Amino acid sequence: MAPDMSWTEPLPRALHPMAWWLWALGLATAASRTTNPLLIAVLVAVVGYVVVCRRGDAPWARAFSAYLILGLLVIALRVVFNALIGASDDGHQLFALPSVALPGWAKGIDLGGAVTAEQVLAAVYEGLRLAALICCVGAANALANPKRALRSLPPALYEIGSAVVVALTLAPQLVESVLRVRRARRLRAAPGKGLRNLRAIAMPVLEDALSRSLQLAAAMDSRGYGRSNGAPQGLRRTTSAFVLTGLLALCLGLYGLLDGTAPPLVGLPALTAGLVLSGAGLAIGGRRVRRSTYRPDPWRRAEWAVGGCGVVCAGVMLVAGSYDPLLLHPSLYPLVWPDLPLLPLMAILVGVLPAWLAPRPVRAAARRAPQLQAAAA
């Protein structure tokens, strides 16, 4: 048997999709723990570099730029709404907007008024954090094959997984449809820029993206995804109750751990209860779904390395935020220039290692090369 060279010289292959999601969720956890714009900028740069180095040529791999645009839009909307609604007299005033008197039932809400530098920076910091979370999810969607991720899910999550895969593939299919429609319009010598042509492009794009998502759903249904083999109705309800309750408890537990100000029962106890209930639901649901997997995705050292980078990044950021929160949250009152702490910076830079640890993706041109050579011979 030939030795495994995936660690020293990775061969072109598709990394396990769950490894990319574990890496992205680790970086998203790190982003949620800080409002330092310098750290967030480094984290977004790390995510973008890994995506550029290790994405393939599939349709979903070209959707990362759309998530970047969405992140910038989130920051702009956050600043605009904060200036319109969150007026404050404390701080360095930049300008003043016309104020509108609201009725008594809207007491406590100010519409318009003075806009301060501290207020704008607070909105920018919060918007940057949310934009970083969007970029992390977009990176996982660009690097991980959603169809292979569905194949790796436990049997009890097939119904939920099918809906999630269809939802996740809508954005990549939308990007692919935009490129295809614009290419067709250029071939017809039709103008492709300006708001006047937006309606002529938007309708074919939406129709094509929705039809392709529905075709994916029909293909999954024809292949038996989520079939229960005639399981009793009581067993299905029990499985659904365990899984849904466990997922809700997991969400509460993660919120309690990440927030830090939640009641004690919302943190680790809720997370533990969610893990137990979800595990019980998966174990029960696995008995009623029988399926076989053709060529299952391997989990090798590259998967452990990529997932471990995300776990290390999240763990170090959690520890750093627990002993010195001012490192991760720069002061606005008084207004100071944010510092670049060394330990969180090193933790975020660990997230760039998958650009070299992950194997090179297999591209369509490389897959077609042996067939072209055989045809030429």
CA distances from 315 to 3, 38, 94, 348 (A): 33, 19, 39, 11
d(CA 18, CA 31): 20
If asked whether residues 32 and 69 sit together in one domain, one would say yes
Instruction: Pick the most confident of 28-37, 55-64, 184-193.
Output: 28-37
Cβ neighbours of 104 (radius 10 Å): 5
Give residue 43's pLDDT band: very low, low, confident or very high (50, 70, 90): very high
Give residue 5's pLDDT band: very low, low, confident or very high (50, 70, 90): very low
If asked whether residues 151 and 243 sit together in one domain, one would say no
Classify strands 111-116 and 93-100 as parallel, antiparallel or unpaired: antiparallel
CA distances from 295 to 123, 152, 270, 370 (A): 48, 11, 37, 21
Region of poorest pLDDT, from 227-231, 268-272, 328-332: 227-231
Domain membership of residue 294 (yes or no) is no
Give residue 7's pLDDT. Answer: 44
CA distances from 168 to 80, 145, 161, 165 (A): 29, 10, 10, 5
pTM above 0.85, yes or no: no
Instruction: Pick the most confident of 28-37, 42-51, 165-174, 367-376.
Output: 42-51
Q: What is the mean pLDDT of the chain?
A: 76
SS3 state of residue 358: coil
If asked whether residues 73 and 132 sit together in one domain, one would say yes
6, 300 contact by CB (below 8 A) = yes
Query: How many percent of the chain have pLDDT more than 90?
Result: 16
If asked whether residues 274 and 330 sit together in one domain, one would say no
* 244, 263, 288 - which closes a domain: 288
If asked whether residues 244 and 318 sit together in one domain, one would say no
127, 70 contact by CB (below 8 A) = no
d(CA 202, CA 181): 9
Residue with more model confidence, 76 or 207? 76
Region of poorest pLDDT, from 3-17, 36-50, 95-109, 327-341: 3-17
CA distances from 313 to 126, 179, 206 (A): 20, 36, 38
Give residue 365's pLDDT. Answer: 45
Domain membership of residue 52 (yes or no) is yes
Domain membership of residue 140 (yes or no) is yes
d(CA 14, CA 158): 22
What's the structural domain count of the chain?
A: 2
Domain membership of residue 171 (yes or no) is no
If asked whether residues 21 and 152 sit together in one domain, one would say yes
Region of poorest pLDDT, from 32-41, 74-83, 263-272, 366-375: 366-375
Region of poorest pLDDT, from 35-39, 180-184, 259-263, 304-308: 259-263
* 288, 316, 335 - which closes a domain: 288
Give residue 46's pLDDT. Answer: 95
- On the CB side of 118, how many CA atoms lie within 13 Å of its CA? 14
Q: What pLDDT digit, counting tens, does each position of 173-226 carry? A: 677 777 777 777 777 776 656 566 666 677 777 777 677 767 766 776 676 665
Give residue 115's pLDDT. Answer: 78
Residue with more model confidence, 89 or 312? 312
Q: What pLDDT digit, counting tens, does each position of 299-350 carry? A: 888 889 999 999 999 888 888 877 777 778 888 877 788 888 888 899 999 9
If asked whether residues 282 and 312 sit together in one domain, one would say no
Domain membership of residue 210 (yes or no) is no
d(CA 29, CA 350): 14
Which of 20, 44, 126, 46 has the alpha carbon at shortest distance from 82?
126
Task: State the residue range of the domain holding 271.
Answer: 231-288
Which of 149, 200, 212 has the alpha carbon at shortest distance from 175?
212
Cβ neighbours of 308 (radius 10 Å): 18
Which pair of tokens denotes residue 355?
């650009």
If asked whether residues 269 and 316 sit together in one domain, one would say no
Is pLDDT at 64 greater than 90 in this prediction?
A: no
